[in-house]
Amino acid sequence: MIIEFSPMSHKKVHDKDFPSWVATELSVLRFYQCEIMRALDYDGTLVGVTAARFPKRSKYLNFMFAYTKEQFAGRGHGAELQRIVYTLARTRGYDRVRSLINSWSGLRLQMRLGHTFWGQNVRGEVVVSNPLPLCPSGVLPEGEVPLHVRKVVVGTPRPLDATDIHSIVFGDDDKFRVDRHSVFDRESAIRSIERYVRL
Ligand SMILES: CC(C)(COP(=O)(O)OP(=O)(O)OC[C@H]1O[C@@H](n2cnc3c(N)ncnc32)[C@H](O)[C@@H]1OP(=O)(O)O)[C@@H](O)C(=O)NCCC(=O)NCCS
């Protein structure tokens, strides 16, 4: 259960609870002006982190990174932490969120959040853009494709459905291959894709 959500000090980026690749990733993201937020359990144990950019002169929050410690994974903390960031973003005047996904666990998290996927960029990353939850001002007119999506998606961008996601995950794309992540078995991945409903 998440009971605290707060900006992380630089010192904490090197929290010994994190694998070193996470600490490195967070240091790089901080360098690029990302805000890093942490989730704590009742007893103060660090559960996970998330990093986002709140750019000036933009209505878009940039979701950059999320990590949940392995022993807490799969309990909804990642999604919960993300929703808290979205609430904060709304209070700061943002109405949409964008991101690029380059891993199956990232894709699965964002499916759970109901994000809209528009296709893949030249690096094979899945391009995300959607209104923040409960934010009517972020909803685009029917059929309109966000500008940043039009600029980067290879081919014609369109909101992907479960069948498209299935082909990305079970196609040739190594980034999203379920069998690279032992915690995710094929059947639960298929169920998760079938449950996918956009915001
Ligand atoms: C992505 C990540 C932050 C999600 O954190 P989380 O706290 O596990 O997220 P949630 O509990 O909200 O679950 C999100 C989905 O992943 C599934 N999941 C996460 N960990 C799992 C595990 N160990 N076993 C089975 N399923 C798991 C959940 O079941 C859920 O899928 P569902 O909605 O289809 O059931 C976490 O998997 C992680 O740290 N991954 C490594 C870092 C990474 O690749 N981050 C993404 C790039 S930004």
Q: Where are the domains of the chain?
A: 1-94, 98-199
Is 130:97 a contact under the CB 8 Å cutoff?
yes
To the nearest 10°, report the CA torsion of 96, 99, 104, 106: -70
pLDDT at 83: 93
Pairing of β 126-131 and β 96-101: antiparallel
Q: Whose CA is nearest to atom 28 of ligand 1?
A: 74
pLDDT at 126: 97
Residue nearest to atom 13 of ligand 1 (CA): 74
- List pocket residues of ligand 1, CB cut-off 6 Å: 48, 65-68, 73-79, 103, 105-106, 108-109, 112, 183-184, 192
pLDDT tens readout for residues 161-173: 999 999 999 888 7
> CATH assignment of 1-94?
3.40.630.30
Question: How confident is the model at residue 193, as a pLDDT?
Answer: 94
Report the separation in Å between the CA atom of 92 and the middle of ligand 1, taken as the mean of its atom positions. 27
Closest alpha carbon to 158 in 117, 122, 129: 117
Higher-scoring residue by pLDDT: 57, 174: 57
| Per-residue pLDDT, 102 | 93
Summarize pLDDT for 112-151 with one digit per residue, the tens: 999 999 999 999 999 999 999 999 999 999 999 999 999 9
pLDDT at 4: 54
How far, in Å, CA of 93 to CA of 154, rounded? 30
Interval between CA 185 and ligand 1 midpoint (Å): 12
Using pLDDT thresholds of 50, 70 and 90, give the confidence band for residue 154. very high
More confident position, 9 or 179: 179
Which residue is closest in CA terms to ligand 1's atom 9? 78
User: 182 pLDDT exceeds 70?
Assistant: no
Question: What's the whole-number average pLDDT of the chain?
Answer: 88
Q: How far is the CA of 141 from the centre of ligand 1 (A)?
A: 32
Confidence grade of residue 12 (pLDDT, cut at 50, 70, 90)? low
Q: How far is the CA of 90 from the centre of ligand 1 (A)?
A: 24
For 76-113, write each residue's pLDDT tens digit. 999 999 999 999 999 999 999 999 999 999 999 999 99
* Chain centroid offset of residue 21 CA: 18
pTM of the model: 0.91
Contact 41, 1 (CB under 8 A): yes
Å from CA of 188 to ligand 1 middle: 12
